[in-house]
Amino acid sequence: MIYALVLVILPITVVLTSILFSILTKKWFVMPLITFLILSLVMVTIFNTTFFIWVALFTILSLVVSFLSLFTRKLIITHR
């Protein structure tokens, strides 16, 4: 169950919320910061410190998705 959470559910959730928050707030750093804070709390309360590797990876994933969504939004707006 934990592997399904880490390998399937969390990445999908991070990608979708990163796209949503980056479009709504128009800031690239909001969702990676929220991702880092929430997953750090999950690491401390549920998992052990080895989960920090996943926290870092999901934060980087959120950062990349936020940049890409803002970049594509900018491209769509400029080509209209």
pLDDT over 90 at 31, yes or no: yes
Per-residue confidence at 29, pLDDT binned at 50, 70, 90?
Answer: very high
Domain ranges of the chain: 2-78
Mean pLDDT of the chain: 92
Tokens of 59: 């934060």
Tokens of 56: 């870092």
pLDDT digits (tens, 9 = 90+) for 40-58: 999 999 888 889 999 999 9
The answer to whether 9 and 16 have CB atoms below 8 angstroms apart is no
**20 half-sphere exposure, CB direction, 13 A CA radius:** 8
How far is it, in rounded angstroms, from Cα 39 to Cα 3? Answer: 15
Q: What pLDDT is recorded for position 79?
A: 86
H or E stretch covering 33:
helix 30-45
Q: What pLDDT is recorded for position 44?
A: 94
